[in-house]
Structure 1
Amino acid sequence: MDYEKKIINPRREGLDEELLANCAEMTNVLSVSAVFSDALNRDGVMDHEIKFRSTNQPFIGTALTVKLKPGDIVDCLPIFDIAKPGDVVVIDANGTPNTSIWGGLMSGLARAAGVVGAVVDGSVRDTDEAKVLGFPVASRSVSPRAAHSAYTGRTEPIEINVPVTCGGQIVHPGDLVVADELGVTVVPYDLLAEVYPAAAQLAENEKKVREEILNGATVEQLLAKFGRI
């Protein structure tokens, strides 16, 4: 059966750029991945194996999704034809543990394109170089073995801007990706207008709770005032 080996869909249109910018400003919130998960009623959290492998630098941005084929993992260089500042590259590499499809040069190219981070359900390498670049990469594993693209020249089969599964979560192009040293939370874009104000309010409440704790408030007082801890 014939099938298209390279599918690059256009970017999702009609995104609320002001809303996305407001979300991105929350990178300085403590435990921001947990805050957004709480605002989603504990939903949206990727598997705990998806964790930072380079720098512990929180990032928040919109998903630029990549789907690779099991057993034929290639470099995802075509993303740089459409990557925009504020993107998060989210790669479904089927959890492949020993073949890396993201390395130091990819981190450099991504940083130059304004990409704020990468999340890979699979393996990455050159994490030392990513640290030097200050580019955050989260993945399921780390391995020195490269994909075959450098030897074969192939960058297909690949699908870009399609729904993918990453860390047990379905991610659509344009969804919000929130990552920090705790893990990664995905917020469906269609829910973002509702989730963002809830997350912002939770962050503000937690800031107030911390201040109350430092001022000697008891658990009973905190529960009476805020309803949760």
Structure 2
Amino acid sequence: MDNNLVYKWFSALLCYPEAELIAALPEFQAALNNHELLAEQRDGLQGFLNYLGEGSLRELQENYVATFDRNRHHALYIFEHVYGEDRDRGSAMVDLLEEYRKYGFELGDDELPDYLPALLEFFAHIPAENAQKLLGDAVHVIDHIAKKLAQSQSPYAVLLNAVVALSPVAPQPLIEPPVRDMDEAMETFGPDFSGTEPLLKPSIETVQFYPKGSFQTVREGATS
């Protein structure tokens, strides 16, 4: 596994656990044993592989759903933690989609570009320096989610902490976006395809990967 494909390793482990993932644990173990970029985080990551290997598939799946689908503080959608339900989230999605397309990648109809496993998979297939720059942009949010997971004593916290350790940029504290009242959100954005939740619509304003003022501390040297 080359240095860039370490992102693929994390991407797969952050996905919903299926039987194929459990069957591939020996391959994940071999990568952990041999890859230098994982060495400093080896003890914690070994604990996570042990967690996958010791639980039943049903238990692993139930815990995954409880962790990521039923707790918005743990959501693996990067922009959820930056914009909440603000309309600028849609514009940021468009910008990020353009990053994918710049390298010839298209997402499926049911995939969002800010989903962390998808983003890490993307990093594995682009030049290392570009992956590092994008990780440096996202690391503040990844670290924020990692801290929330650690507070809940989730075994997934070690994965996100290890991703943070790969970043060339030190993470800064993130200001959580306000939770918009659902009735107001429905009026502003309209329902989603199920008719129950807001569907965010892009505004015409161009938004960078993360908006100004999202961080409590101004990061230096992270953007050109």
**TM-score normalised over the length of structure 2:** 0.27
**TM-score normalised over the length of structure 1:** 0.26
Q: Name whichever structure is richer in helix by fraction.
A: 2
* Bigger Rg, structure 1 or 2: 1
